[in-house]
Structure 1
Amino acid sequence: MFDSIKRLVKKWRASRDGGHQLDTLLAIADKRAPYAERSEWLIELAHWIRRGHAVRPAATDTADTAAPQSDPAHTRIRYLLRVLDRNPAWKAHVAGILRALLRESDGLSLLCDAGMPVHSGFFGAVFERLEASLIPPAPNRRDLTAIVTLMFNAERDAEWIDTLPTDLLARIHALFDYAPDDEEDQRDSTPFSLDLLAALHNLTCQISSTGLSQTVRSRLGGERTDDRLDDTRDARTANGSDVRAAMENQPFYRLTRAMLAVEAAHDASAAGGPQEPLLREVNYLRLLLDECRCATDNVFAHLYRNGVSVDIVFQVQRMRMRIERAEHLLDAWMAQHDLRAAARLTAELVRANQASQSVAHLARSNSSLLARKIVEYSADTGEHYIARDRAEYLKMMQMAAGGGLVTVVTVCVKFGITGAHLHAMLEGVLAGFNYAASFLLMHFLHFSLATKQPAMTAPTLARELDGADTPAGVDSFVSSVTALMRTQAAAVLGNVLVVFPVSLCVDLLWSAMFNHDLISADKAIATLQSFSLLGPTPFYAALTGVLLWSSSLLAGWADNWFILHRVADALAYNRRLRMTLGVAAADRLARFCRANVAGVVGNVTLGLMLGLVPVILTAFAFKFDVRHVTLSAGSIGVAIGVLGESALKMPALWWAVAGVGSMAILNVAVSFALAFYMATKSRDLRGSAVRSLRGAIWQRLRRHPLELVWPAKAVRETS
């Protein structure tokens, strides 16, 4: 069926001269060809238009020589129109193909669905886009979305369409109306304005359906909804009305009725009636669309306060996209004779259709709110870890000292587990339980572990990124970063100053009481060598920083899940808990779980990851050992206790000390960098803004380097 057209297209592609390519392509244009062949012809014409370089006009082409040629696609369209003007037969066939495309294809698919995901959930949309990228639409599909996808698949297509000159738009519009003398062209033809009106009706129904669903309706705002219900009860008492009065206060409910009023006013105007009712109804429809957009803002605010669901965010954002599309279609429908408005709408449809094919665009457009929510809950957990004045700095030293004391027990238990020579997986599980129990004990005793804080405290800085566009906001942000770095110095110092000497003393005491050390001399030497700066220690320390950041991410996710599903309320009002513990005790249990869910999940997951991830990676990928500054400092203390004074003369000891220093830097730097990246992503900061913030931090450190180790007196006065 397609052999003849394929041979001609192959011959056309083999030609090297641009003019000869176009002549060959126009010569095979046939408005009576089957739909698939006409679609293939249009696709090839679109590829020729955006080929990328301008066509050199012939010497006899004197028309339009002074026309602007800023875009090669515009130049090629001008050349195409000149060739068609010189060949009326070709022009008639091209015009017939264009008219048939609009007549025989489903325009609603392009006007309503281009750029709109079909699936109601985020992950369904991901699979939809992956499928679309692997299986492009066939040219025999009778809908404009498939044709637009195949014709305009380059990133700059929407740009050159949007910037088409007015004279070119007029000539393209005239091409559609050229030689409409064929009876087939006139049969079953529908004005494009009616397609716009039908698309508007379709979109308003979809917007109303989503807006009146329980997912959106229950999140339109607490106090305002209660007020409306109170008003409705009063109205029902006074006038005998029912729940319909409450529904009529919703813009989503009134939207479909307003669209029906617009259609009725349009029919009356088309029959010769006045234009004023139509304009009034259109303005009212615009107002309702704006109210619907404000309602989606209320939904996002509710999600921000009460937990984020990816699927809910996806559905609300899709509804917002439909509201914006409805406004664009309404503008184009009201300005039917404005060719510039038609070009803007076409470019918007092409741009949206391209975005609908991109998985990366979907992830970028739907992940910022979830990242913001996770960041905020992590920030709530870590705010009290930032020492902003001298009193808080000394308190952090005390908390870090307590964390170092608990770590001594952790190190001793760790050596006991490794000394048992168990199976690698069992050893990893026991080590994970050991770490998790130690971290939980620190959490409930309000102690601090060095390098765990950046992953929890860096998101706190995201709150101050909201004011990063002002000098005062930048200064506040830089002050917080400096305080965070200073806090890390205090935490590392407090941990190491306690865990190292106490570990050493524990080994000496153990040797005196039981006449043998915690570990053997060979194990002590191997421990020092494993921490050497010359080995893989820096790489392991960086990967440990990734695990520290991951634990904070999981902590924020758990807190978000806890709030989203209102688990605290479920516990507080649980019938069995109330009967068993009492009302007050059940309420205290709910508040306790709410206050500690993030800390418990973060500490447990961190402990299990530190124990299990090295075993899994070593078995399936590459050798990996945890390198944490506090745990490693305690291990060095035990090793020195075993080796005695001779250890001071061993180069391995000092290389191990240098390796611990690299752990302190890399644990903090990697976890902070990852958490800060998520914080900036949640605020949608551009790269230039992030670079300016980095420059401001560097300038502050050069001017006041001592602030990294000791807070100035002015900090107390300004905080």
Structure 2
Amino acid sequence: MHLFKRKKKEKSFCEKVLENESAYDVTTKEESLHFLIAFFGDLRPPKNEQHLADARMKDMILFLEAHPSFVSRLQQAILVQLINTRLEGAFTESGIPVSSGFWDELMGKLKHKMLPREQDTNDFVYVLDRVFYRKNDHVWIEAIRRATWISFFELLQFTLQAKDPRLTEHLIDALTVLSFQVANNGLEKEIAGYIAPIHPIQENPFLLQSRLLHELQQEKNDPYHIREVVNRLKLVLFEIENEILHIREHQDQRGTSIRQSYLLLILTARIERMQILLDTIDNDDHFDIGRFVDLFKLLVRNENLKNSIRQFISQGVGYIAYQIAEHKGQKGGKYITTTRRDYLNMLVSAMWGGLIICFVAIVKNILSKLHYAYFWQGFWYSVNYSAGFVLIDQTGSTLATKQPAFTANAVAVSLDSKKSLGQPDLQSMAFTVAKVIRSQTASFVGNLIIVFPGTYLLAWAYHQIIGRKLVSGEAAFRLLQEQHPFQSLSLLYACNTGVFLFLSGIIAGYVQNKIRFSNIAGRLAHHPGLYGSTSAQKRGWWAGFIEKNAGAYAGNISLGFFLGMAANVGKIFGVPFDIRHITISSGNMAIGVYGLGIRAVPGHYLLTVFLGVLGIGFFNFLVSFSLAFFVAVKSRGIQLRRYPELIRIIIRHFFKKPLSFIVPPRGAGQQ
């Protein structure tokens, strides 16, 4: 067993105990604590071998099976700690925020990060902190498979059954605190106002569980009655879990908030711990060790990360991010083509979007001739961009660079741990990736085949009407140079655009979610101040329009201001900061070529600039898609390392059907 391979003169703690058991007594609380610290110290892998934690635990199980006397000593050490410490803190506080709101808890964590709380040596949480004292202990604890942990606790015959009266009192006290907290959470308006309608003959399950617990306390000396009440209480907790599920399932229609997500997170944790405690005190000789293992790993993780601001924020806003991603994922479906008819429709839609961008590019260059202060120049650029993006959205046209922020979320649905049971169909996801790439290609092609000739034609029309070119000479050459991949920072600026495209998608999702959760449309339709001036029909129309379009308007306007203000913010602060957007860059290229004269531009230089425009589009897509996909998988609890074969499957699919990444297969409706 490699677990005990050490230097020649150094013996493991387990070996020392076997050699002289009398020297390692576990009858007192302090002695048993030192025993547990040393035992798990033997089990703890070196920092660079944490991937071997599961193998070390299996070796330890083999060792324990061969030495029953050591098992008895380990059992006693654990029992002494359970009986002589308070368990309430571990069950009711560890990993569960104690403040009533997200921001209160965040401020509390900031305070305790600078000056940690004083620990109570009589609290079981103190035992956890002493035994698993390293801040990365949760890493190797979680690296051990669940089945291996179950085997370990089964070997210890660890059922946590409440045979000792003192242990029973601790467990019931913890259960009482959790019950009151669950009832209080259930009466919060963010929960009570969103649960399924309760019929008159029903009782609110959040209140019913509290009443049943009071009944359990009154009859705690009657084993038969305890089992009866516990079974009823478990059914009520199951109802509460269904209420939580009901709220989450309807968040895509009703939206959510950080506070609601925070309360649901807390409720779920408290219900889970109440289930474990009820499983302990029901005296039915059945104990779910798997559930206990999950709690054990969670407690160690919580104690290691209890002052982690990053962990708390990630956990607290996870469901908000999920709902934003969900909104974008639903919209992303319309950007993914399956059939050749869909593909043709995408191409035509992108061509209309390209036509609108032609006018945006011309107007932007006209505005550049007006000598405003940097801020106001950026403001009018932003208004121009915003108007163009809103017009594209309202006409049902397509802008290629807006797709990645939405299609990334649609792709992530294939791996969604909240929506799919078991192993995701990775082959199906490869088909989805192929659909996304060919849809993106169609929109890029549709935009570009209109933007360049269309803008060139508009630049010619401007020349004929006004009598002079829109740009000429050095200004025209600068428009080409700004798209050149080597003579400018265009590819870096394209990455900035990718970030802004991603952020505008987040803003669109957030606003749409907020509109739904706050019922803005319903409140506007019944606004008392509008009764005298507008009809019910007109109020209803405005309410429906806002509910349907507010998110899209917010996303498009924010993107317009991101792109319009970027260069001028860079000028204000004297830093090289700008954006490059493939369709606008294509329009600028066309204006520059017309300004210089197409015959005056060397062919190789023109080709290089064109390739630079394509490079701009590539980085627009790559950055926007990557950021959106990262948020989507994180908010859904997806760990990509679980699917190492994913990239291989996509590459295999590409070599098998390369054309499916460019155009839909003939007669195929699914690939």
Specify the TM-score bucket, using the shorter chain as the normaliser.
0.7 to 0.9
1:433 partnered with 2:383:
yes
1:216 partnered with 2:176:
no
Q: Which range moves more in the overlay, 307-316 or 388-397?
A: 388-397
Query: Hey, what does 2:52 align to over in structure 1?
Result: none
Give the residue type in structure 2 aligned to 1:533: P
RMSD after superposition: 4.4
Q: 1:692 to 1:579 in 2, by over 3 A?
A: farther
Query: Hey, what does 1:445 align to over in structure 2?
Result: 395
Q: Which ranges of structure 2 fall in alignment gaps of 5 or more residues?
A: 1-8, 46-56
* CA contact 2:182–2:206 (8 Å) conserved in 1: yes
**CA apart distance, 1:311:** 1.3
- How far, CA to CA, are the matches of 1:634 and 1:402 in structure 2? 14
TM-score, normalized by length of structure 2? 0.81
- How far, CA to CA, are the matches of 1:718 and 1:336 in structure 2? 52
Which of 228, 234, 251 is the equivalent residue of 1:303?
Answer: 251
* CA contact 2:400–2:447 (8 Å) conserved in 1: yes
Q: How does 1:376-415 map to 2 (within 5 A)?
A: 376-415=326-365
**CA apart distance, 1:305:** 2.9
Query: Hey, what does 1:279 align to over in structure 2?
Result: 227
* CA contact 1:454–1:672 (8 Å) conserved in 2: yes
1:498 partnered with 2:450:
yes
* CA contact 1:148–1:350 (8 Å) conserved in 2: yes
- How far, CA to CA, are the matches of 1:44 and 1:620 in structure 2? 60
Query: Hey, what does 1:664 align to over in structure 2?
Result: 617
Deviation sequence 1:84-127 (CA, Å, 0-9, x none): 99xxxxxxxx99x9979965x65422332222111233343344
Q: 1:168 to 1:74 in 2, by over 3 A?
A: farther
- How far, CA to CA, are the matches of 2:245 and 2:292 in structure 1? 30
- How far, CA to CA, are the matches of 1:348 and 1:487 in structure 2? 43
Deviation sequence 1:327-353 (CA, Å, 0-9, x none): 212223345999997985766644554
Task: Specify the SS of the correspondent of 1:219.
Answer: coil
Task: Specify the SS of the correspondent of 1:580.
Answer: coil
* CA contact 1:458–1:676 (8 Å) conserved in 2: yes
1:418 partnered with 2:368:
yes
1:257 partnered with 2:237:
no
Which of 211, 220, 233 is the equivalent residue of 1:266?
Answer: 220
Query: Hey, what does 1:289 align to over in structure 2?
Result: 237
Q: 1:533 to 1:210 in 2, by over 3 A?
A: same
Query: Hey, what does 1:514 align to over in structure 2?
Result: 466
* CA contact 2:374–2:571 (8 Å) conserved in 1: no
Which of 516, 525, 528 is the equivalent residue of 2:480?
Answer: 528
Q: How does 1:183-202 map to 2 (within 5 A)?
A: 191-202=166-177
* CA contact 1:207–1:319 (8 Å) conserved in 2: yes
Query: Hey, what does 1:457 align to over in structure 2?
Result: 407
- How far, CA to CA, are the matches of 2:80 and 2:408 in structure 1? 59
**CA apart distance, 1:69:** 9.0
Larger radius of gyration: 1
Give the residue type in structure 2 aligned to 1:125: E
Q: Which range moves more in the overlay, 591-600 or 459-468?
A: 459-468
- How far, CA to CA, are the matches of 1:718 and 1:305 in structure 2? 28
* CA contact 1:52–1:73 (8 Å) conserved in 2: no
* CA contact 1:468–1:477 (8 Å) conserved in 2: no
* CA contact 2:205–2:240 (8 Å) conserved in 1: yes
1:595 partnered with 2:551:
no
Query: Hey, what does 2:273 align to over in structure 1?
Result: 325
Q: 1:641 to 1:346 in 2, by over 3 A?
A: closer
**CA apart distance, 1:203:** 1.3
**CA apart distance, 1:449:** 1.7
Q: How does 1:310-389 map to 2 (within 5 A)?
A: 310-334=258-282, 349-354=299-304, 356-389=306-339
Q: Which range moves more in the overlay, 208-217 or 134-143?
A: 134-143
Task: Specify the SS of the correspondent of 2:637.
Answer: coil
* CA contact 1:629–1:663 (8 Å) conserved in 2: yes
How many residues align? The count is: 632
Task: Specify the SS of the correspondent of 1:581.
Answer: coil
Q: 1:129 to 1:27 in 2, by over 3 A?
A: farther
Q: 1:618 to 1:693 in 2, by over 3 A?
A: farther
Q: Which range moves more in the overlay, 558-567 or 506-515?
A: 506-515
- How far, CA to CA, are the matches of 1:470 and 1:290 in structure 2? 23
Q: Which range moves more in the overlay, 140-149 or 515-524?
A: 140-149
Query: Hey, what does 2:128 align to over in structure 1?
Result: 148
Q: 1:43 to 1:618 in 2, by over 3 A?
A: farther
* CA contact 2:279–2:287 (8 Å) conserved in 1: no
Q: Which range moves more in the overlay, 547-556 or 495-504?
A: 495-504
- How far, CA to CA, are the matches of 2:296 and 2:609 in structure 1? 65
Q: 1:540 to 1:293 in 2, by over 3 A?
A: same
Deviation sequence 1:201-248 (CA, Å, 0-9, x none): 221121122223332222112xx43xx1xxx2xxxxxxxxxxxx65xx
1:116 partnered with 2:96:
yes
- How far, CA to CA, are the matches of 2:544 and 2:286 in structure 1? 61
Q: 1:680 to 1:582 in 2, by over 3 A?
A: same
Q: 1:700 to 1:106 in 2, by over 3 A?
A: closer
**CA apart distance, 1:510:** 2.8
Percent identical residues: 24
* CA contact 1:137–1:150 (8 Å) conserved in 2: no
Deviation sequence 1:521-553 (CA, Å, 0-9, x none): 111212212211224322221221121121111
Task: Specify the SS of the correspondent of 1:435.
Answer: helix
- How far, CA to CA, are the matches of 2:329 and 2:285 in structure 1? 54
- How far, CA to CA, are the matches of 2:172 and 2:132 in structure 1? 25
* CA contact 1:139–1:147 (8 Å) conserved in 2: no
Q: Which range moves more in the overlay, 384-393 or 307-316?
A: 384-393
Q: 1:407 to 1:157 in 2, by over 3 A?
A: closer
Which of 634, 639, 652 is the equivalent residue of 2:587?
Answer: 634
Query: Hey, what does 1:653 align to over in structure 2?
Result: 606
- How far, CA to CA, are the matches of 2:121 and 2:429 in structure 1? 55
**CA apart distance, 1:617:** 5.4
Q: 1:338 to 1:483 in 2, by over 3 A?
A: closer
Give the residue type in structure 1 aligned to 2:446: G
- How far, CA to CA, are the matches of 2:541 and 2:327 in structure 1? 21
- How far, CA to CA, are the matches of 2:378 and 2:505 in structure 1? 21
Q: How does 1:509-588 map to 2 (within 5 A)?
A: 509-534=461-486, 535-588=488-541
Q: Which ranges of structure 1 fall in alignment gaps of 5 or more residues?
A: 1-14, 33-37, 56-67, 86-93, 174-188, 233-244, 270-274
**CA apart distance, 1:561:** 0.5
* CA contact 1:485–1:708 (8 Å) conserved in 2: yes
Give the residue type in structure 2 aligned to 1:415: N
Q: Which range moves more in the overlay, 567-576 or 125-134?
A: 125-134
* CA contact 1:647–1:653 (8 Å) conserved in 2: no
- How far, CA to CA, are the matches of 1:591 and 1:548 in structure 2? 26
- How far, CA to CA, are the matches of 1:118 and 1:404 in structure 2? 54
Deviation sequence 1:390-421 (CA, Å, 0-9, x none): 33333333322222222222222222333345
